[in-house]
Amino acid sequence: MKTLKFKILFVTVLLYSITLGSCNMQDYDIQIPERVFGKLDILQNDLTVEVKDGNILSFEYQVTDAKDQIKLETKIDNKRFLSVLSYKYEESGWADISVFDIDLQEVVEKKNMNIIVEKHAKTLKKKFDVSIVGRIADILEGVPELLYNELGKKEYTNESTLSIFYHLAAFSTARRSYESRSRDCQCDVNPNYINGSSPFFCAEDIMISADWAYDFISEKTLVNKIADKQFNPKSTLKYLSSESGRLVSASKINKLLREELVSFLKNFSEKERQQLTNKKSTLSMVPMMTTRSEEVSWWEWLTYDLTCLIWGVTYGSDCGCCGNYSGLCHYCDVICYLHDHDCVTCEPRWYCLDGCVPGPC
């Protein structure tokens, strides 16, 4: 497997369930990343306290029927996060190949982590060729599930354990840069990481079926109008059609949709623009809101993400909103919609963290 993939395959009953505003996990075939099989040995584990001084995790992973090993040593001490990934081949000694040395105070609300990962990926590209970068990424992809099974939920969700995802994201980002023949190492924020419902992934590494996305977006934009006008994302659908049979980045789909939505809204008349900022008009624009008793203050409408109208999402607790909170939704995208579907049953466990609130979706 060349990239971290969460492959969601579309089935015929999904269109019907979307129309009704509900769905079932059986409508999806979720395939977790292929694993480079091996043996995991925990060397040191002190993770039962909250994230502060004294958190330590170290383990070794021996690849089955191969001569390479990886080792991770992570420690949080004096508000500094130090995570070292080492690699060993045959009888050679351990070599430190990836080091995250972070002042936790600099990572404000997790929003700077993608920038740190991007810089780290650039460093990896300078040090290693594509074969080494790809090999390490392949090995790391299957480790989180093994860690969850070995440590259990409580210790797995500790920041020291989840540091494995920073290394994975950096190697995945470097590999994407190699494969696209681009000098850029792009790692966009995954909103599910920000709200604590999933570990760290670059948004570009969350892949979905282009055919599923085409059918899903076509149905949603047909059912959910914006200020009584039909939004037809032609460019997005054209792109997905050209990628039929392939997996595409959910991040790219989000960008295309938002660009088209901005262009769409630019053509609104003054009266139509007023509809989007008028509480009563907005209430009638989204039929599902009339079935909810939750009161919404006037100022909240100013922060409501209009992209949510595409998905038919209104509240922070609705499936497809990035987060789970009271009041109106402030951000929606495809990644959050898929994550919410996965978290109807909180599976896979190593992917859906404590921020995952079980359905319905």
Residue 44 has pLDDT above 60, yes or no: yes
- Beta strand spans in 150-285 (E): 207-209, 247-249
Last residue within a domain, chosen from 187, 219, 250:
187
pLDDT at 243: 92
Total domains in the chain come to 2
Residue 241 has pLDDT above 90, yes or no: yes
pLDDT at 158: 86
pLDDT at 343: 75
Residue 128 has pLDDT above 90, yes or no: yes
**pLDDT tens digits, 179-224:** 876 667 889 888 888 878 889 989 888 888 889 889 989 998 888 8
Last residue within a domain, chosen from 134, 157, 187:
187
Q: Does residue 17 fall inside a structural domain? A: yes
Asked whether residue 86 falls in the same domain as residue 182, the answer is: yes
More confident residue, 348 or 41: 41
The confidence band for 28, taking pLDDT boundaries of 50, 70 and 90, is very low
DSSP assignment letter at 229:
B
Residue 132 has pLDDT above 60, yes or no: yes
User: Which among 13-17, 126-130, 271-275 has the top mean pLDDT?
Assistant: 126-130
pLDDT at 7: 29
206 alpha-carbon distance from chain centroid: 6
For tokens 């969700």, the residue is 157
DSSP assignment letter at 27:
G
pLDDT at 358: 67
The confidence band for 295, taking pLDDT boundaries of 50, 70 and 90, is very low
Q: Does residue 355 fall inside a structural domain? A: no
Asked whether residue 138 falls in the same domain as residue 211, the answer is: no
How many other CB atoms sit within 10 Å of the CB of residue 126? 7
pLDDT at 262: 87
Q: Which domain holds residue 329?
A: 7-31+206-342
Per the rule left: phi > 0, alpha: psi between -120 and 50, beta: everything else, 12 is alpha
> Which H or E run contains 42?
strand 38-46
pLDDT at 20: 26
Q: Which of 174, 127, 164 is nearest to 33 (CA)?
A: 164
The confidence band for 48, taking pLDDT boundaries of 50, 70 and 90, is low
How many other CB atoms sit within 10 Å of the CB of residue 63? 16
Q: Does residue 356 fall inside a structural domain? A: no
Residue 26 CA to residue 284 CA, distance in Å, equals 33
Residue 89 CA to residue 108 CA, distance in Å, equals 37
Least confident of 71-75, 188-192, 218-222, 268-272: 268-272
Q: Does residue 43 fall inside a structural domain? A: yes
Q: Helices then strands (H, E): number in the chain?
A: 15, 9
More confident residue, 172 or 30: 172
Last residue within a domain, chosen from 152, 187, 222:
187
More confident residue, 27 or 173: 173
CB 359 within 8 A of CB 350: no
Residue 116 CA to residue 18 CA, distance in Å, equals 38
CB 13 within 8 A of CB 214: no
Residue 201 CA to residue 192 CA, distance in Å, equals 9
DSSP assignment letter at 235:
H
79 alpha-carbon distance from chain centroid: 26
Asked whether residue 42 falls in the same domain as residue 136, the answer is: yes
Give the mean model confidence (pLDDT) for residues 237-255.
Answer: 90
Least confident of 93-97, 115-119, 202-206, 231-235: 202-206
Q: Does residue 353 fall inside a structural domain? A: no
- Say which residues have a Cβ less than 8 Å from residue 205's Cβ, sequence separation at least 6: 3, 4, 169, 172, 173, 176, 249
Asked whether residue 164 falls in the same domain as residue 282, the answer is: no
Asked whether residue 156 falls in the same domain as residue 246, the answer is: no
More confident residue, 11 or 198: 198
Asked whether residue 118 falls in the same domain as residue 245, the answer is: no
pLDDT at 296: 44
Residue 60 CA to residue 278 CA, distance in Å, equals 58
Asked whether residue 211 falls in the same domain as residue 322, the answer is: yes
Asked whether residue 21 falls in the same domain as residue 47, the answer is: no
Q: Which of 255, 224, 220, 218 is nearest to 238 (CA)?
A: 218
Could you tell me the pTM of the whole model? Answer: 0.74
Asked whether residue 44 falls in the same domain as residue 158, the answer is: yes
Question: Per the structure block, which two tokens stand in for 309?
Answer: 């109208």
Q: Does residue 54 fall inside a structural domain? A: yes
- Say which residues have a Cβ less than 8 Å from residue 74's Cβ, sequence separation at least 6: 55, 56, 57, 58, 81, 82, 83, 84, 160, 161, 163
Burial class (CB in 10 A: 0-12, 13-18, 19+), 336: buried
Residue 292 has pLDDT above 60, yes or no: no
Question: Per the structure block, which two tokens stand in for 24?
Answer: 């079932």
Q: Does residue 351 fall inside a structural domain? A: no
- Per cent of the chain over pLDDT 70 is 78
Q: Does residue 198 fall inside a structural domain? A: no
Burial class (CB in 10 A: 0-12, 13-18, 19+), 131: exposed
Asked whether residue 48 falls in the same domain as residue 145, the answer is: yes
Residue 149 CA to residue 254 CA, distance in Å, equals 33
Asked whether residue 42 falls in the same domain as residue 169, the answer is: yes
pLDDT at 315: 84
Asked whether residue 27 falls in the same domain as residue 42, the answer is: no
